[in-house]
Amino acid sequence: MKFTEEHEWLRVEDDVVVVGITAHASEQLGDVVFIELPEAGTEVTKDEEVCVIESVKAASDILAPIDGEITEVNEALVDEPGKVNEDPTGDAWFFKIKAADPSQMDDYMDEAAYNDFIG
């Protein structure tokens, strides 16, 4: 897995990148009560806002970590946004993106570097 400074995790599965938020981000947000997901088929550009998460504490944006096309979204989160608090790095992924330029993944931290970052 790779990690962004915006507390997203990225996991490569075949030819797509699965994107979610880290346990640290989930804890900082508190209880997640609403998630607005992008549409599958949407073309996105790195650092473009693609999701909105609302919790009892705050609203937060999820940014596209790479250029590409959203191939799938986790519709289960619409009905059960609290999954983000229960399993942020597992079942609570947000979307899958087919990378236009896979080398953009090289810009992100590995787990050890991320743990140092949140320190």
109 secondary structure, DSSP code: B
Which pLDDT does position 71 carry in this prediction?
A: 98
What pLDDT score was predicted for residue 62? 95
Mean of pLDDT over the chain = 96
Residue owning tokens 């090289």? 106
Handedness of CA 73, 92, 30, 2 (dihedral sign): negative
Domain chopping of the chain, boundaries: 2-101
Distance CA 39, CA 71 (A): 9
Condensed to tens digits (0 to 9), the pLDDT of residues 72-103 reads 999 999 999 999 999 999 999 999 999 999 99
Give this prediction's pTM. Answer: 0.94
Assigned fold of 2-101: OB fold (Dihydrolipoamide Acetyltransferase, E2P) (2.40.50)
DSSP 74: -
- Of the candidates 99, 88, 97, 119, the one whose C-alpha atom is nearest the C-alpha of residue 8 is 88
Q: Per-residue pLDDT averaged across 38-42, rounded?
A: 97
Q: Is the dihedral of CA 98, 99, 100, 102 positive or negative?
A: negative
